[in-house]
Structure 1
């Protein structure tokens, strides 16, 4: 499961150019989508910056303590629930999707071999934060350079890029922008599966929002049934305290004794809910080399070999990897 559990330092806002509500913003949106496709994004959508419908769900989740030790989730809840605190005057959110399914060893075969280490598929390539952020920054720069001609105005507009780097309701934006629907495992989902990263650009441009797409999960509950620890406590509800991704990545203390036998050979993250999803049968290796290419054989590495790594080996081998942030000791 994962990327949505992370939050790090946000990108600074930038004054991009003119905008005051006049001009052909429908054409601007069409061009933004064209530019996004040129940059390798699988889809781009537009949503309103208003998250008032999703905020009560977030507050309820926090009140139930389902965020565990991720104190930053509670600390920055107000920022997550009010995009204008991250970008004053924000009106629209450009939501982007970038597939990451790697050209890797069969995940289920690795899980079945107790001598091998299972690493969540999203972490087998380059750190996605950098790749997604760089693409979004290029898109924001393109908007800055070209939107003036499409929507001539006399006031400046602002934009701010996020790649799982600040308190952003990225799944809500993805769903409302029409580039995905929310699966029962709470991850964003499309007909080619859930193996993708999301990124956002907050902007003060008054862009017309896209129409959400339909939910295609139906009566299926394979993700709920597949979760080793029962972390998906109900459709569309996850208790992070039970999630193996949380236990192996976010939790800084000892893993509860009762959950340890259920973790198996999963040393960094867990993908069981995604592997069980029928839509992921249609996934294809990512076009982006940063994600398609597996680093250091981590798709089917020996547990014994990884356990023997020294701290210096850990740091050197995982340079540029999202895994490095948890540190050698863990």
Structure 2
């Protein structure tokens, strides 16, 4: 919009006082001159709003496991070669969940990613591949760009597969991985398009409402009065009557809430018990991820320390080292312990507020 206004201002300015180039032209020629100048300006505006190629040739690239031959390094996928022969491609060893990643060096607003598939054989190996873009070096923590590669897309030898990031993704790293399969990942060339960076504003953490979300715990106190749901009931009261509470001294107790959708979790805050026994929360580990099994998800920050657990009714903030892609948020205490939570709060990168 600003650029369009600038173009209009240019018209008025040119009409108001003629430039040296137009000074000797007659009226008709002058109008044509002015029209050409405005058209040129508007063309530049349009270009700035359109996705454009961004060269990643020679950018640092790594892959999960180099092929046993020692050939076919990750850098072969960003060497600028249009050849789809394996000699010019990256190629991992045969392994579970193989991945490849390139470092752009700084944030870009990624709108499209294209992969040139292997052309001499075995193109079908790329089925199920997922493109991701984000700021985490852990590839699976970043948002996906487009949909996984289908069998039909992978079938043509030497085919080019396009991934449209909708919306565009702010990212320093672009990656390709094949989750859930044991296979070779081979990429003959990866190319990228971007938008101006202002199209991808920096995401700001904000509260995500988990009030009333489905919650479970490993066991419930024998009285039946302290269910898992008490930790997401919206109550700020720290008396045990308003808290969740597992069986006392149970083995590896845990609590989990289902966000019911994927989010990027940045912080989890726990309101500890206030009438007694707050020290029981020492050693508690917050986790966030896509698995319904709490201990299979990534840790968000370090375990709760003794000093954090000591204050009765204390508020404990746990910052994730980096945003974690998650549907489930959990708290567990390894070993024999009693887990009690009076309220749990979650911050995410983008969400509606409570």
Q: If the length of structure 1 is used for normalisation, what is the TM-score?
A: 0.23
- Structure having the higher helix fraction is 1
Name which structure has the greater RCO, CA cutoff 8 Å, separation 6+. 1
Normalized per residue, which structure has more strand?
2
Largest Rg, 1 or 2: 2
